[in-house]
Amino acid sequence: MATPRKSTTKSKPTVKSAFKPYAPKKGEAYMGTKQKNHFKKILLELKGQLGADIDKTVHTMQDEATVFADPNDRASQESDMALELRNRDRERKLIKKINETISRIESGDYGYCDSCGIEIGLKRLEARPTASLCIDCKTLDEIREKQMAK
C-alpha cells in the first residue's frame, strides 16, 4: 500500500495583500515617479514569489521522485508532476511578462495602451499590473480571438 502524498499544487501567488492600492493625490500626474515605483515594487514582489515557488517545486519533485511498484501509484505521481510542471511553465511565462513590464516602466511606456495609446488606468493596473492594453482594446482583442476560434 502506497503512502499518501501531499499535493504540491498551489494557487496563484497574490501580492494584493502586501500592497495597498495606490491613492493618487489631487492634481498628481498619471504615471509619475511615485506611481511607477509603486507598480515596480508590486511586480518585483510577484516575481520573487513566483521564483520561490518554482524553486520549491524543483526541490519537492526531486524529493518525491519515488519509484512505485504499483502502476496506479506511479501514474498518479506522473500525473501530479505533469500538472505541476504545466503550472510552473505558466509562471515562467508570467515572469517573462513581468520582466518586460519592468522594462516598460523604466522606458516610460508603462501605463499606456499598446494599441491606442490612452491611459490604462490605475484600477486596471492594480488588478493586473502586467496589463498592456486598456480595457476597451483588450475587450476587442478577446472578441477577435473568439471569432477566429470558430
| Contact assessment for residue 60 and residue 22, using Cβ atoms and an 8 Å cutoff | no
Q: How many domains does the chain have?
A: 2
pLDDT one-digit tens code per residue, 37-48: 999 999 999 999
pLDDT one-digit tens code per residue, 61-108: 777 666 677 888 878 888 888 888 898 899 999 999 999 999 999 999
Domain presence at residue 102: yes
Range of the domain at 35: 30-110
CATH number at residue 72: 1.20.120.910
Same domain, 117 and 101: no
Domain presence at residue 10: no
The proportion of the chain whose per-residue pLDDT surpasses 70, expressed as a percent, equals 83
Model confidence band, residue 2 (pLDDT cutoffs 50, 70, 90) = very low
Domain presence at residue 8: no
The predicted structure's pLDDT at residue 66: 67
Q: Is 83 helix (H, G, I), strand (E, B) or coil?
A: helix
Query: pTM of the predicted model, to two decimals?
Result: 0.76
Tell me the backbone φ, ψ of residue 119, rounded to 5 degrees: -65, 135
| Contact assessment for residue 5 and residue 80, using Cβ atoms and an 8 Å cutoff | yes
C-alpha cell at 135: 480595457
Exposure on the CB side of residue 29, measured as CA atoms within 13 A: 5
> Does the pLDDT of residue 116 top 70, yes or no?
yes
The predicted structure's pLDDT at residue 73: 80
Same domain, 71 and 118: no
